[in-house]
Structure 1
Amino acid sequence: MNKKMRMKLVAIMAMGILSVGSLVGCGSGEPAQTETETKPSTEAQDTSKEEPKKDEKPVELVWWTIGNEPADLDAVTDAINEYTMEKLNVTLDIRYASWGDYGEKLSKIVQSGESFDIAFGAGIKGYQDLANKGYFADLTPYLEGTPDLKNFIPEALWQGMTVNDQIIGVPAYKDSAQAQYWVWQQPVVDELGIDITKIKTLEDLDPVLRQMKEKYPDKYPLMLQGLEGINGFIATVCGYDELVVTPSIGVHYEDASATVVSPWEQENTMNNLKIIHKWFNDGLINPDAATATENYKGIMVWAAQGFPHAWTEADGVPVVYEKFYGPAYSTRTIQGSFLAVSAGSKNIDKSLEVIELVNTDEKMRNLLAFGVEGVNYEKTGETTIKKLTDGYEVPAYSQGTFFNMYTVDPAPASMWKDLQAETETAFSSPALGFTFNTQPVQNEVAACSNIESKYRPSLITGSANPEEVVPQMMTELNNAGYQDIITEVQKQLNEYLGK
């Protein structure tokens, strides 16, 4: 999942869902195992809980997470450890790796055998290959020792974290199902009298964009850039769960037969591409869209993944929004944020107890997310706060659930309850839980990815005529083995579904 950089989220998420970590299905295959790699431990461990003895030595767990290390980390960690000692006889050594370094650094740590216990799994480069090699603990037997955690997280999320019949991590129960919104500048909506509740499809949007162009002839109603186009285009505008992201291959969310297809060749995708192309020709889209790489400021309407109360303003302008798709569960959306436990950890059971505490204990969750009350924040209501300093800014989405967290003013106190209620309406992809192993066709995937990347920016921004360019792209893709990839995905998916 991508996010408008200009958006001011009132949620405490520092980054968007699916914006970190390797995306499901776009790996380049399993790297060769070298003699210097340390094999993960596979010894079974006792999963039963015992009350800590007063004279028992505390267990220290190493927890790797993503982001820039906050200035107040030591003080907050001291407060966290005072609580985890009381509850679990555990202390945490919380370590940060920067946004740019985390993926590579943690992948090396995992493979080197360096000792750690918990890590933000979604951010680790090639995490699926590492999971397939056994570097992450299979949590299935240990969850019996943390029943509150097991029962709190819905079964669909556990299914999404199951790879080769093993639960490779604890998913963050939050906006784990993708919901897509049109977000509008409120002054534009008010001035033109736009009923945003009636706009669900590109066909619905068409007359409104033309109305906007007539009212503001010097502006482009839809400002796009080639790396993204309309955010969520294949998944939410067209409705495909991309089992392979590049080149795009997937199943339609409403296809109970789970038939693997090329989204580019489907009638609904072609119709949407033709609409976007007409918008481009009619001057409703910025002419540099295909080559632009940055999001624009001050745009009047855009699509974004979100949830109730996610936006209040953008670039200093009040906004309003309306959902047009979802929420929908897929393996990709669920694996966008999870915590993995090292297979080499000597304390897998204690690691899960800590993760359980984060997800089920309000005090622990808010210590981890916001720091120390009276120092880093103060309460403005029973479950609302305002921040006092910027000394403890962390990506809370990487830690656990949102549903026992405080909300930050001016977000409403009901924010997370409303999100949870929306999430409970989510539907699932017919391929939920499936992860494609690219190894049998890794060369074809690499070649087709390069081909698609040449054409995709111009197609998704309307710069190219899809009736001409899609056939040209498909010829090149098929010559490079695209159909072989589809066949292999279908084979693996059928095996997964027991067909």
Structure 2
Amino acid sequence: MKAKQATALVLASVMGLGLLAGCGDSKKGGSETAKNDGDVVTLKWIQVGGSMPDNYDAWLKQINPYLEEKIGVNIDMEIVPWADWDNRRSVITNSGEDFDILFTDQTRYNAEVNTGAFLDLTDILDENAPELKKLIPEDYWEAMEIDGKIYGVPTYKDSSVTQYFVWDKAVADKYGIDINSIKSYEDLYPALKKIKEGEGTAPYYMSKSGADFLNTVYFDQLGAGLPALGIRYDDETKTVVNPLEDEEMLAQLDIIHKMYKEGIINGDAPTADDSSKYKTFFTAQGWSQAAKTTWGPSNGIDDCEAVAFTDTIVSNASVRGSINAISSGCKHPEKALEFLQLVNTDTKVRDWLYYGVEGENFEYTDDKKVSKLNTDWPMAGYTQGSYFDVSQLATEEVNQWDEVKELNEKATPSIMLGFDMDTSNVETELANCRSVYEKYKSEFFTGAQDPRELVKTIHDELEAAGWDTIREEAQKQVDAAK
């Protein structure tokens, strides 16, 4: 099913895994998952985020009685800090540690499924989570399939991808720039040059990832984990190519290279880490209202505006950006799935997860919006569930989630939606080619070097690393799946 046909659409190398056990019974939340006290099931949910909340016990006392009344479940969370996620995850997956629900994403999902970590949900979704199955459109469930089976619940949020030019509107107005008319790098160059000449500083901030989004927006990487391999999202011939050699992409990188040479882009871009420091102009993936709610506040811009400059696309990678999967050893998978349904459909549960403790972290206004009392809640909202039952902030003039939903309804699905390449025959070649890509990607996508000259070097080194072998294997599998 194409995205436009759906009634409501919305967005690695992994160490060896053993079968993971989990799901226990308990009357109260705790760190163990193998307790039995009546009919109440305690589910352990492991997620990445800021940290464990300081008021976690107060949060449990608020949410668990509600969950218990609704579905006979208590929840026990473990929030792993982002900096510790990879190490903690290795312990979880290698030791067979008990858990019931685990956050995962496109970098891990395929490999974890292939090693038996997650439960096949295909046959129990309709019976145990019919509202959830209906809520998330067919295209998105299709994107979750591996060999025709569903092993995770995608987070129903900004699961399509649109890239934006993000502006400090005050600076743009100062130089008479009509930002709404700028929807390409060709349009962008003269505007930023004017700002550079007037301000004397580089207006376009880039981190070392540069404009690599051009690759992810226009090409489906087939689950191979190699950005130098893919099929253009709208290519009906389904021809496997090297996206870095795409003429449309190179034409845009030509302009980026010109801006880098002229000092319009910061000179340290190839090594710069993304940060919250002030930026006159930058690019971001999301939706236009994020300029007011997120990008502006986090970058010190009082009047921030964003204008889309790419198509809106949905792919396996975009849908798999946030997934919650149930352990293959779960003793109560029906309850775990019922809980995930509640997270995605019950506004009260969703708000407690997203905003924290009612009365401590937030409170409801008379018109049912949310007033945040502080910014102390460290759980990551994108890891949890649907954005579309999160209550609107009282400070927002419009509900930004309505825009996200509209974007997803209009998104064009990748021609390769639901396809994952079996990489088992070319792992060595893939590892070698990934090393080549990693060596050059920052220089290539920040414009620090001439892209057309650099891509020749990349091409030759990829060839030597076995790229043709990978392409032939990928094309064979794509053709077999047609």
Tell me if TM exceeds 0.5. Answer: yes
Does the CA contact (< 8 Å) of 1:66 and 1:102 recur in 2? yes
The aligned residue for residue 143 of structure 1 is 125
Distance verdict in 2 for CA 1:287–1:174, change over 3 Å: same
For 1:132 and 1:412, locate their aligned partners in 2 and report how far apart those are by CA, in whole Å: 45
1:292 match: secondary structure: coil
The aligned residue for residue 285 of structure 2 is 305
Distance verdict in 2 for CA 1:76–1:208, change over 3 Å: same
Distance verdict in 2 for CA 1:378–1:276, change over 3 Å: same
The aligned residue for residue 459 of structure 1 is 444
The aligned residue for residue 320 of structure 1 is 305
Deviation for aligned residue 1:370: 1.9
Q: Deviations over 1:263-298 (max 9, x none)?
A: 122211222222222222333223333233454733
Distance verdict in 2 for CA 1:32–1:235, change over 3 Å: closer
**Structure 1: stretches of 5+ with no match in the other structure:** 1-17, 19-26, 42-54
The aligned residue for residue 240 of structure 2 is 260
Distance verdict in 2 for CA 1:296–1:246, change over 3 Å: farther
TM-score after normalising by structure 2: 0.87
The aligned runs of 1:169-318 (5 Å cut-off) are 169-216=152-199, 218-225=200-207, 227-230=208-211, 232-236=213-217, 239-243=218-222, 244-295=224-275, 297-312=277-292, 313=296, 314-318=299-303
Distance verdict in 2 for CA 1:163–1:108, change over 3 Å: farther
1:484 match: secondary structure: helix
Say which is worse superposed, 366-375 or 57-66, in terms of deviation. Answer: 366-375
The aligned runs of 1:312-351 (5 Å cut-off) are 312=292, 313=296, 314-351=299-336
For 1:263 and 1:394, locate their aligned partners in 2 and report how far apart those are by CA, in whole Å: 36
* Structure 1 counterpart of 2:387, from 379, 397, 402: 402
Number of residue equivalences: 450
The aligned residue for residue 129 of structure 1 is 111
Say which is worse superposed, 475-484 or 273-282, in terms of deviation. Answer: 273-282
Does the CA contact (< 8 Å) of 1:40 and 1:135 recur in 2? no
Deviation for aligned residue 1:246: 3.5
For 1:355 and 1:39, locate their aligned partners in 2 and report how far apart those are by CA, in whole Å: 19
Q: Deviations over 1:414-438 (max 9, x none)?
A: 2212221222111111111222333
Distance verdict in 2 for CA 1:187–1:92, change over 3 Å: same
Distance verdict in 2 for CA 1:191–1:412, change over 3 Å: same
The aligned residue for residue 360 of structure 1 is 345
For 1:60 and 1:97, locate their aligned partners in 2 and report how far apart those are by CA, in whole Å: 19
For 2:83 and 2:313, locate their aligned partners in 1 and report how far apart those are by CA, in whole Å: 29
Say which is worse superposed, 65-74 or 192-201, in terms of deviation. Answer: 192-201
Q: Deviations over 1:200-234 (max 9, x none)?
A: 22112122122223322x11232323x21136132
The aligned residue for residue 470 of structure 1 is 455
Q: Deviations over 1:63-90 (max 9, x none)?
A: 1122210011111112211011111111
The aligned residue for residue 46 of structure 2 is 64
Distance verdict in 2 for CA 1:374–1:32, change over 3 Å: closer
The aligned residue for residue 490 of structure 1 is 475
For 1:269 and 1:362, locate their aligned partners in 2 and report how far apart those are by CA, in whole Å: 42
Say which is worse superposed, 361-370 or 206-215, in terms of deviation. Answer: 206-215
CA RMSD of aligned residues (A): 2.3
Aligned-pair identity (%): 36
Q: Is the counterpart of residue 120 in structure 1 residue 99 in structure 2?
A: no
Does the CA contact (< 8 Å) of 1:383 and 1:406 recur in 2? yes
Does the CA contact (< 8 Å) of 1:179 and 1:323 recur in 2? yes
TM-score after normalising by structure 1: 0.84
For 1:38 and 1:220, locate their aligned partners in 2 and report how far apart those are by CA, in whole Å: 52
For 1:388 and 1:272, locate their aligned partners in 2 and report how far apart those are by CA, in whole Å: 44
Deviation for aligned residue 1:98: 2.1
For 2:361 and 2:15, locate their aligned partners in 1 and report how far apart those are by CA, in whole Å: 44
More helix by share: 2
2:231 match: secondary structure: strand
